[in-house]
Amino acid sequence: MFDAEAIVDQATRKALFARVRRHTGIDMADRKWTLLHGRLRRRLQALSLSSYGDYLAVLDSSTVEVGHFIDMVTTNETSFFRTPRIWDYLWNDFLPAWYAGNAGSTLQMWSAAASTGEEAYSAAMLFEEFRQKHTDFNYRILGTDIAQRVLDVGGVGTYLGRNVEGLQKARPAMLEKYFQPDGVTHAVAPSLRAHVTFRTHNLYQRLKDPTRFDLVMLRNVLIYFDEAGQETVLENVRQSMASKAVLLVGESESLNRIRTGFTYQQPLIYRNADASA
């Protein structure tokens, strides 16, 4: 029976933490060992491996295994309309101001740690509502994540009942309007789906896309990186943003203590400071 708690020495743990950092940029230390072990042990069982030493050898020789590893070590928690005040800000402030200054253009949004797509589709629903008031308003949303497994869920756009419970409580009319129930699942309506694309991307690299985004959600992902990592990721993201574009971060995230090219607007809301971007 594989019992890594008992047999994994410090050097092997360090080697595993180093692989997490190498492949995702996520900063894990000893206090995260139980979490990491809990996630990896099932993989070892699936591969019929009896030690992490053997697993490291597989990981280091297989890009397919690197994909599985990334899927396992990332935390993908998300929900529709997470952090209500952000969505109120978008509806009351951002959208009217953007539309006033850019009528006839397409709003470009990037959900930069999209997980299973709830954030991207929440934005799409809000934008669709705005479009009903302003018929020439158009938008495109790119959702990216380092983990393929979660992106596949977003790409299919089909959610189980428990994933839409919060939406049902908070915005039942939207669930009714933008999802098609099918037994135990709810499928995103094709009209919404048509505006959203998903693809893999590691935030430690620059996005290979010429688009300069007007709005970027980089929420609940900076917390996994150390300060230097946060600065690298923020600069990479900023390089893909339009001048004065808006960046939204997660509830427990702040750019206050790090050096970035963003200026503070309100809690969780920043702007690209580079007027020439």
Ligand X SMILES: C[S@@+](CC[C@H](N)C(=O)[O-])C[C@H]1O[C@@H](n2cnc3c(N)ncnc32)[C@H](O)[C@@H]1O
| Interacting residues with ligand X (CB under 6 A) | 24-26, 74-78, 82, 113, 115, 119, 145-147, 150, 202-204, 219-221, 224, 250
Q: Which is nearer to ligand X, 266 or 276 (CB)?
A: 266
CB of 46 to ligand X, least distance (A): 20
Q: Among 44, 46, 45, 39, which Cα is nearest to 56's?
A: 44
Burial of 180 (0-12, 13-18, 19+ CB in 10 A): exposed
CB of 12 to ligand X, least distance (A): 23
Q: Which is nearer to ligand X, 68 or 82 (CB)?
A: 82
CB of 146 to ligand X, least distance (A): 4
Parallel/antiparallel/unpaired status of strands 185-188 and 213-218: unpaired
Tokens linked to 185: 């699942």
Q: Which is nearer to ligand X, 131 or 199 (CB)?
A: 199
CA 234 → CA 85, 223, 247, 254, distances in Å? 22, 12, 10, 12
For the chain, the straight-line distance linking the first and the last C-alpha, in angstroms and rounded, comes to 56
CB of 216 to ligand X, least distance (A): 11
* Helix (H), strand (E) at residue 186: strand 185-188
Instruction: Check if the beta carbon of residue 197 is closer than 8 Å to that of residue 142.
Output: yes
Q: Which is nearer to ligand X, 145 or 214 (CB)?
A: 145
Q: Which is nearer to ligand X, 33 or 204 (CB)?
A: 204
CB of 218 to ligand X, least distance (A): 8
Residue 136 exposure: Cα atoms within 13 Å on the Cβ side: 6
